[in-house]
Amino acid sequence: MELLYGPIRDYAWGSRSAIAELQGRPVPSDGPEAELWLGAHPGAPATVDRDGVRVSLVDLLLAEPDYWLGERVVGRFGCRLPFLLKVLAADAPLSLQAHPDSEQARAGHAADAARPDGPRNYVDPYHKPELLVALSPMEALCGFRDPARSAEVLAGFGVPALEPVVAALRAGPAGLREAVRALLTWPADQRDGLVAAVLAAQVAGPDAELARLLAAGYPGDPGVLVALLLHHVRLAPGEAIWMPAGNLHAYLRGTGVEIMAASDNVLRGGLTPKRVDVDELLRVLRFEVLPDPVVRARPVAPGVVCWPVPVEDFALHRVTVEPGGPAVPLPLPGPRVVLCRAGKLTVDDGAGTVTLGPGQAAIGTATAEPLVFSGEGEAYVATCGPSGQQLG
């Protein structure tokens, strides 16, 4: 095991306390700290210490892929770490967004590369499914809810201009595409009036409160109304949400551990000053109802839980070592990235040991030896999937 040093992304919606508190730094931080990246994505790779010099994890993997990744991972994913582990800390809503599947990402990346200039949608040829586990109480929008319920909510505002959208939603899932397209392509000169009419309606309840929250940051953005078609999820610590390809979602506030395929492909639909490509977003969205976006932790061994997801790129486990309790083994092959959430933990992968405090991370090589956790505390461990299997 070797200590891993992750960069912090300073997006405007980030918290000035959550990541700093986790790492034991002064609060508030000098500016917003939105995401701590612990991986080898070229956009912001983590580093490892080599004789006092921080070396990019990307360079290390390329130089010794079999040592760091192993033949199995290289054969399946190439000379790259297929997952990216993050700490995400939101003090304000993120954009409405979705991510492509593998085929869409490859085709989109190739099409972007073939154009000599112009905007780009696909910075990577890879898909980007995501799992987020709440560390604090967390709110998010995730997946389309029952269109009948959405129709009832929009109709309740009593705004005549929304009647065609309400009618589309009353047609059930078959009308979702029409409803979303109508809202996202609403005439630009009429958007302020539409959102203002919704806010002026004498309506109480969580949906009206959500509309007011989003409109405070993005007045006149039709994404305020698209958000009302989604599940408004409130996660307790330890609960998770799963965001497969084509799932429209947005984080609203809170802190969580996020793991995803190592890609930065994002198609935005609103609630952002960044570029929005409505046509491309509509092309990748899956207009289907998501019955329950919440993923509950599954115990897989003493002191170990996971959140099962149906991908091979990543798996996430949480290891808890009780004070005075026995060491906890985690018999999963490398590569493995470990983030200490609390306490003080010693981690041994058979090739070396590290001791981690809160907010510190480490990476283990492709050795098949189990990780062994001792001391006391809590850690999140990212590996390649599949997840959910019982550990022996």
Q: What is the pLDDT of residues 54-76, one digit of tens each?
A: 999 999 999 999 999 999 999 99
Q: Are 207 and 153 in contact (CB under 8 A)?
A: yes
Cα–Cα distance between 331 and 329 in angstroms, integer? 6
pLDDT digits (tens, 9 = 90+) for 118-152: 788 999 999 999 999 999 999 999 999 999 999 99
Q: Are 256 and 135 in contact (CB under 8 A)?
A: yes
User: How high is the pLDDT of residue 392?
Assistant: 46
User: How high is the pLDDT of residue 148?
Assistant: 97
User: Please, where are the H alpha helices in the chain?
Assistant: 18-23, 57-63, 65-68, 70-77, 102-114, 147-156, 163-170, 176-184, 191-200, 206-217, 223-226, 278-284
DSSP tag of 14: B
115 to 111, 118, 120: CA distances (angstroms)? 7, 7, 9
Strand partners, 49: 54
Q: Token pair of 369, please?
A: 């030896």
CATH of domain 2-140+234-269: 2.60.120.10
pLDDT band at 391 (very low <50, low <70, confident <90, very high): low
389 pLDDT exceeds 90? Answer: no
Cα–Cα distance between 144 and 231 in angstroms, integer? 6
3-state DSSP call for residue 184?
helix
182 pLDDT exceeds 50? Answer: yes
CB atoms within 10 A of CB 290: 19
3-state DSSP call for residue 170?
helix
Q: Are 226 and 183 in contact (CB under 8 A)?
A: yes
Write the burial class of residue 103 (CB in 10 Å: 0-12 exposed, 13-18 middle, 19+ buried): exposed
DSSP tag of 5: B
User: How high is the pLDDT of residue 387?
Assistant: 56
User: How high is the pLDDT of residue 291?
Assistant: 87
pLDDT digits (tens, 9 = 90+) for 223-248: 999 999 999 999 999 999 999 999 99
Backbone φ and ψ for 80, nearest 5 degrees, come out as -150, 150
Cα–Cα distance between 373 and 311 in angstroms, integer? 26
pLDDT band at 390 (very low <50, low <70, confident <90, very high): very low
Q: Residue 375: left (phi > 0), alpha (psi -120 to 50), or beta?
A: left
Cα–Cα distance between 296 and 308 in angstroms, integer? 9
User: How high is the pLDDT of residue 74?
Assistant: 95
DSSP tag of 370: P
User: How high is the pLDDT of residue 333?
Assistant: 85
User: How high is the pLDDT of residue 98?
Assistant: 97
58 to 42, 185, 381: CA distances (angstroms)? 7, 40, 19
Q: Which of 268, 318, 336, 341 is catalytic?
A: 268
User: What's the mean pLDDT in 249-263?
Assistant: 97
User: How high is the pLDDT of residue 207?
Assistant: 97
Cα–Cα distance between 227 and 249 in angstroms, integer? 8
Average pLDDT over the chain reads: 95
**Structure-derived torsion over alpha carbons of residues 244, 246, 249, 255, reported in degrees to the nearest 10:** 30
Strand partners, 234: 139
40 pLDDT exceeds 60? Answer: yes
pTM, to two decimals: 0.94
User: What's the mean pLDDT in 314-325?
Assistant: 96
Cα–Cα distance between 217 and 210 in angstroms, integer? 12
User: What's the mean pLDDT in 331-352?
Assistant: 94
Q: Which residue has the tokens 């390649």?
A: 384
37 pLDDT exceeds 90? Answer: yes
Write the burial class of residue 223 (CB in 10 Å: 0-12 exposed, 13-18 middle, 19+ buried): buried
CATH level 3 topology of 313-383: Jelly Rolls (2.60.120)
Active site residue 268: yes
Q: Token pair of 67, please?
A: 């040592």
User: How high is the pLDDT of residue 117?
Assistant: 83
User: What's the mean pLDDT in 204-233?
Assistant: 96
3-state DSSP call for residue 188?
helix
Strand partners, 101: none
Equal fold, 2-140+234-269 vs 313-383: yes
Q: Are 381 and 330 in contact (CB under 8 A)?
A: yes
User: What's the mean pLDDT in 199-213?
Assistant: 95
Cα–Cα distance between 331 and 323 in angstroms, integer? 22
* Residue ranges of domains in the chain: 2-140+234-269, 143-231, 313-383
368 pLDDT exceeds 80? Answer: no
Q: Are 313 and 384 in contact (CB under 8 A)?
A: yes
Weakest-pLDDT range from 197-201, 237-241, 272-276:
272-276
